[in-house]
Chain A
Amino acid sequence: MKEITYLEAIREALDEEMARDPSVFILGEDVGVYGGAFRVTEGFYEKYGEWRVLDTPLSESGFTGAAIGAALVGMRPVAEMQFADFISCAFDQLVNVAAKNHYRWGAATPIVVRAPYGGNIHGGAFHSQCIEGFFYNVPGLKIVAPATAYDAKGLLKAAIRDNDPVIYCEHKYLYRRIKDQIPEEDYIVPIGKARIAIEGSDVSIITYGAMVHTATEAAKVLKGSGVSCEIIDLRTILPLDKKSIMNSVKKTNKVVILHEQTKTGGVGAEVSALISENCFDYLDGPIIRIAAPDTPVPYSAQMEEVFIPQPKEVINAVEKLMRY
């Protein structure tokens, strides 16, 4: 075992997959000589050369399309969006080409699009967004969002080996703040499987990404007042691990859904509908969603703190539910 950060986990996954499989390569803006805006691919250019760590022109749609084309003829490209926010420029290629290739004409498109996302870093409206909602209504894509260094590595490896287009949401706030003990040997975290981050019996907090840590903070406080929270870390948000969600709800009968993405039409709405449709008889109270308000991400620290869900909101929601 060894201890590494969330960012190092991403770097290790990329490095090990590139060493293992010559069809894996990286493309994007400033990923090569500079080593990436967040230094994720630092040293790769020297190790793998300019054709496997490809600095592209500033053209998200162009290089995403190129990743798709390379994948169609046997490569396994990993495209880096410098900030997830810029993925909107590649929307068409992901939604109309990558997501539909296999369904429409039977061609596998094994691409990974790395999307450094999320706020709490004072990046403002164009460097802080959660982008999973943009793609949530697109059948054919897979979306993962690790919360831990262990999952960051395992999910990225699984995504690279997967034959479908995977949007890999890596939370910028976690890059250097989270550390985990991870095994020395090769492992993957399967796509489509949630995990129980904390086992509990009174209430289920269903969440993913950086909010897993917000939920954990809340759970610690609530434990002090005798409330046992179960935290479900979705890990894969498209498609959802329905079974893990329902099992937890059937056990605790109370649900809080927590995400940093804005509220309307978000992942939480889907999880909530899923529970209503399938577990209505098990519920003791209303499903409560905690999410960012429906505004762009504000810049000022005071405003951003209101925007990003805080442990206190989770505690209030759980306390409210405990009265049912």
Chain B
Amino acid sequence: MDIKREDLLQLYYYLKLTRRFEDRISSLYHQGKILGGAWTSNGTEAVSVGYGYALERNDIAAPYFRDMGVFLIRGITAKRIMAQYFGKKTGVTGGKEGNVHIGDINFGVIGFPSHLADNYPVGTGAALAFKMRGEKRVAVACTGDGGTSRGDFHEAMNFAAVRKLPIVFICNNNQYAYSTPLRLQMTIKNVAERALAYDMPSKTVDGNNVVEIYKAAKEAYEVARNGGGPTFIECKTMRMHGHSEHDSAKYVPRELLEEWKKKDPILNMEKYLLENTIARKEDMEGIELRVKKEIEEAEAFAEESPYPEPDDGLKGLYATPIEEV
């Protein structure tokens, strides 16, 4: 599969934007400027950027919480997400929700519930609707390695396989579910082996290689779009921060982090772009500046935005409110 130069540069741009944006979130969290907690995808950005960028405009994403790349790529702006982290009225959910609990159906993004793998059945339902209506659209759902132990993961995989639904399941296998390492999560070597039970095609890819993930997702989407049914893609990567920014992750051996640091997805992509003479150092510096500006603007927007009215929290429970006479 050939990838156009402009797409490769966009992949790099979103990798950078995701990394820098979440770095800023992390700093602001430690400065006490963020309400509640902060979760980042540090070290694993290639997963959400790769599978998110491979989607078509009309497709649907049912992401999880380390999917900042997907939110940004779908068009939910850094400004709105930063404002969400600040609990502002201009945030994605107007202050009703915080941090990575992001969803906006107008951008084809289904809201993320904290209960991991909940979005596997939900994404499956969107795919079911596409198939019933004969639409050439696909859904993608994502969870982490820990989420694959839950029943919802298996119920969705099974249902999608039985009905050959146009969905692609992604697993961001970042080695740890909070503090629990893979060896206490499952006995299999690759998460992708879970798909065997459903006779579902699967693939294990380098989760730090955005190009590889993009290609695998794109291919799987095309199979799904053309009636070939679901695919499971495991992206092997490493969570380089704690579960959340308050967690020092002392339970992760330092040598493991050192080893993975050398395989950083952004460094990987820079090397790829330079070696294949797709971009020069100046091009990448230009992208870095663009990203920096975007984040500064997002932060200023969030700072300046008003807080919601306290009573706004009492509104919006129902889509069809019941009038009290």
Contacts and interface: CB of A to CB of B under 8 A. Distances in A.
Interface of A: 25, 51-52, 54, 56-57, 59, 61-75, 77, 92-93, 96-97, 100-110, 139-140, 142, 162-164, 191-192, 239, 242-243
B7 to A, nearest CB: 26
Given A73-B130, A110-B319, A162-B320, A59 B159 contact: yes
The 9 closest A-B pairs by CB, nearest first: A69-B125, A65-B121, A62-B155, A66-B125, A108-B319, A163-B319, A192-B322, A105-B103, A59-B155
A65 B103 contact: no
A190 to B, nearest CB: 9
**Most-contacted residue by chain B among A54, A62, A70, A75 (CB, 10 A):** A62
B104 interface: yes
A69 B121 contact: yes
Given A62-B158, A65-B156, 17 more contacts: A56-B159, A57-B162, A61-B121, A63-B159, A66-B125, A72-B110, A73-B105, A73-B125, A74-B129, A96-B115, A101-B103, A105-B96, A140-B318, A163-B320, A164-B319, A191-B322, A243-B324
Contact of B115 (A92, A105, A163): A92
A118 B60 CA distance: 39
B93 interface: yes
Contacts of B132: 25, 51-52, 70, 75
A57 B159 contact: yes
Contacts of A68: 121-122, 125
Contacts of B115: 92, 96-97
Contacts of B114: 96
Contacts of B125: 65-73, 77
A107 B105 contact: yes
A54 to B, nearest CB: 8
A77 B133 CA distance: 13
B151 interface: yes
A73 B60 contact: yes
Nearest to A66: B125
Contacts of B324: 242-243
Contacts of A65: 118, 120-122, 124-125, 152, 155-156
A66 B97 contact: no
A69 B128 contact: yes
B310 interface: no
Nearest to A140: B317
Contacts of B152: 61-62, 65, 92-93
Contacts of A239: 322
B319 A102 contact: yes
B108 to A, nearest CB: 9
B75 to A, nearest CB: 15
A263 B322 CA distance: 27
Given A65-B125, A96-B115, A105 B102 contact: yes
B192 interface: no
Interface of B: 60, 62, 92-93, 96-97, 101-105, 110-111, 113-115, 118, 120-132, 139, 151-152, 155-156, 158-159, 162-163, 316-320, 322-325
Given A67-B125, A69-B62, A96 B93 contact: no
Given A62-B124, A65-B152, A101 B129 contact: no
Nearest to A64: B121
Contacts of B96: 103-105
A96 B159 contact: no
B159 A97 contact: no
Contacts of B110: 69, 72, 107
A74 to B, nearest CB: 7
Contacts of B159: 56-57, 59, 62-63, 66
B155 A57 contact: yes
**Most-contacted residue by chain A among B102, B130, B322 (CB, 10 A):** B322
Nearest to A243: B325
B148 to A, nearest CB: 14
B232 to A, nearest CB: 16
25 contacts: A59-B158, A62-B155, A65-B121, A65-B124, A65-B155, A65-B156, A66-B128, A68-B125, A69-B124, A70-B128, A70-B132, A71-B125, A72-B105, A72-B110, A96-B113, A97-B115, A101-B103, A102-B318, A105-B97, A105-B103, A105-B105, A106-B316, A107-B103, A191-B322, A192-B322
A70 B139 CA distance: 11
A70 B113 contact: no
B155 A73 contact: no
A243 B323 CA distance: 11
Given A65-B125, A69-B110, A102 B103 contact: no
A103 B129 contact: no
Nearest to B108: A73
B318 A62 contact: no
A102 B316 contact: yes
Nearest to A89: B151
A242 B189 CA distance: 58
A104 B139 contact: no
B103 to A, nearest CB: 4
A29 to B, nearest CB: 12
**Most-contacted residue by chain A among B111, B120, B127, B131 (CB, 10 A):** B111
A103 B298 CA distance: 25
A93 B121 contact: yes
Nearest to A102: B319
Contacts of B101: 104-105
Nearest to A163: B319
